[in-house]
Structure 1
Amino acid sequence: MLPVNPVLGIVLAALLLAAAAVAALARLAGPDGRGYARAVVTAGLRAAVQLAAVSYLIGWVVRAVPLLLGFVALMFGVAVWTAGRRVTRNRTWWWAALPVGAGVVPVVAVLLVTGLVPLKGLALIPVSGILIGGALTATVLAGRRALDELRTRHGEVEAGMALGLLVREARLEIARPAASDALLPGLDQTRTVGLVTLPGAFVGMLLGGASPVMAGAVQLFVLVALVAVQVVAVALVLELVARGLLHRDGGPAGHRVG
């Protein structure tokens, strides 16, 4: 669909620099005060390097099942690290493996067992990547929103405990609405598919020569599977936060938030 030539590189560089410039002018920054302008450039450069490497690597790993499974495991590990470190900087980050894996692993297993997805790289890697990416996004959004809410409304948590609620129950009452908002992007994408956007799987299959009906069926599967994976991820992140297993350190004497 796009020619790979110097013009493409120039356009991509211009878009990346424009995005960084807008982020700098608008002073977009995270909770720690770090501006996102540099992060935009870094993310774009990393994406270019990683996609170039993966493009060559996929052609090699699809030749053997052990290599294929190892590559999927690598995708999972990177997702857990990224999600966990986005939610918290302390040692509890590794708990992100549970929400990322709990939805993805059963779905992929069912697809392999039923034969809907063959144990071949050109099929398994894209499907696994889409699902792992969706679980990563839901885990990050739910975890950050839940912990931010508990930090802001810690007095209400204490009030709930004073009324007789257990710590887990008091945290759930405060964190649940905020964490649940992590489902909105996936739900909105599913609701508006075909009316507002034509997602990548649908367009890709059409460009590959598939019929519109087949492309629509594949895209429907991807969207429904993503919603299922993200619901599981959000539910488990909320439970981990409520139980204090996934938390942040802050406040006096290392007071745990979440």
Structure 2
Amino acid sequence: MNPAVPTWAGVAASFALVVLTAAVAWRQRLGLVRDIAVAAVRAGAQLAAVGAVLLLVFRHTGLAGASGWLALMVLIAGRVAARRAAGIPRVLGIAMAAVAAGTAATLGTLLTLGVITAQARVVIPVGGMVVSTAMQATALVLVRLRDEARTARPAIEVRLALGLPAADAFAPHLRDTLRTALIPAIDSTKTVGLISLPGAMTGLVLAGANPLTAIRYQIVVMYMLLAAAALAALTAARLAERTLFDDAHRLRPLAVEPGRPHA
């Protein structure tokens, strides 16, 4: 057993940190004690279940099982991103397509160039990081585009009235949206190693790998996450832009999601 990996007794003992968090919430009357407890229990149960399924995938299904697992992650990630941006026409399909595009292009490049091996135990964790990053970038882009289409409608319609096509009328808002969505990935890439040691590198070091080996892997991870965010954000922005305007280059009215006041 690797001494750097906690035992199950150690995992149980770490629940004291959850108790401490709940105590702080209770003391400050935040009304979050139940949510904290449910989140902690769900995290443990979900991770235990995922671990058991991954064990079966690694032992019996190989790369085919890994592909199915990735497809399921893309579907779930697309739904999560779409819920954040309710109101955009056909948002579910857009979100799933964006996450899938960012994931497929990034993983496909890494596999084609031989940067990572085509093994389930490699593709699944690496793919999970890519899908998560693509989901976050997609959600940021779609939410920002929806809000821009609502708040900046007068300015957009003025440009349309002056004869600009829809793409040109919406271009300033599209650029600002993409810039905003990529800032987290860019900042994380710029500050990696200075502010924190990311998960991939930390996991390898704890597993006993040479720090220089861990660094090589982490560099690849940061580059792939940056690409995944950029590709997913661009795909989401372009697809959403098309649904925001009709064939006559008119800005469509956006549905107001429940609980949100009209503009």
Matches within 5 A, 1:140-219: 140-219=139-218
CA distance in 1, matches of 2:144, 2:168: 17
Tell me what 1:15 maps to.
Answer: 21
* Aligned alpha-carbon RMSD (Å): 2.9
Matched with 1:58 is: 54
Equivalent of 1:88 in 82, 86, 89: 86
1:107 CA displacement: 2.1
Query: What is the alpha-carbon distance in structure 2 between the residues aligned to residue 155 and residue 13 of structure 1?
Result: 51
Q: How does 1:22-61 map to 2 (within 5 A)?
A: 24=30, 44-61=40-57
CA contact (8 A) 2:22 2:36 kept: yes
What is the deviation of 1:38?
Answer: 7.8
- The answer to whether the 8 Å contact 1:83/1:96 transfers is yes
Equivalent residue for 1:28? none
Name the CA distance, whole Å, in 2 between partners of 1:86 and 1:191: 27
Structure 1 unpaired stretches of 5+:
26-35, 252-256
Query: Does residue 1:121 correspond to 2:104, yes or no?
Result: no
Instruction: Give 1:42 shift.
Output: 5.7
For 1:37 and 1:149, how far apart are their aligned partners in 2? 36
Q: Give yes or no for contact 1:187–1:227 (8 Å, CA) kept in 2.
A: yes
1:249 aligns with 2:248: no
Match of 2:248 in 1: none
Scaled by the length of structure 1, the TM-score of the pair is 0.82
Unaligned runs of 5+ in 2: 246-251, 258-262
Q: What is the deviation of 1:17?
A: 6.9
Q: Matches of residues 213-232 of structure 1 in structure 2 within 5 Å?
A: 213-232=212-231
1:227-242 to 2 correspondences below 5 Å: 227-242=226-241
Deviation at 1:39, TM superposition (A): 7.0
Q: Percent identity?
A: 31
CA contact (8 A) 1:141 1:182 kept: yes
Which 10-residue stretch deviates more, 4-13 or 72-81? 4-13
Aligned residues: 242
How far apart are the structure 1 equivalents of 2:177 and 2:171?
10
CA change 1:126–1:172 in 2 (3 A) is same
Retained in 2: the 8 A contact 1:87–1:93?
A: no
Q: Distance in 1 between matches of 2:82 and 2:215?
A: 34
Where 2:148 maps in the other structure, the secondary structure is helix
With the length of structure 2 as denominator, give the TM-score of the two structures. Answer: 0.80
Amino acid at match of 2:21: L
The separation in 2 between residues aligned to 1:62 and 1:75, in whole angstroms, is: 17
Q: CA deviation at 1:234?
A: 1.3
- Counterpart secondary structure, 1:62: helix
Q: Distance in 2 between matches of 1:10 and 1:158?
A: 56
Q: 79-88 vs 126-135, which deviates more? A: 79-88
1:4 to 8, 28, 38: 8
- 2:131 matched residue in structure 1: 132
- Greater C-alpha radius of gyration: 2
Amino acid at match of 1:199: P
Deviates more, 1:107-116 or 1:60-69: 107-116
1: CA distance, partners of 2:6 / 2:194? 24
Aligned amino acid, residue 150 of structure 1: A
Q: 1:151 to 1:114 in 2, by over 3 A?
A: same
Supply the AA of the counterpart residue of 1:123: V
Query: Post-superposition shift, 1:180?
Result: 2.0
Deviation readout 1:76-133 (Å, 9 max, x if unpaired):
1111111122222664322112211112112212322333322222211110000011
User: Which structure carries more relative contact order (alpha carbon 8 Å, separation 6+)?
Assistant: 2
Q: C-alpha distance in 2, partners of 1:4/1:234?
A: 40
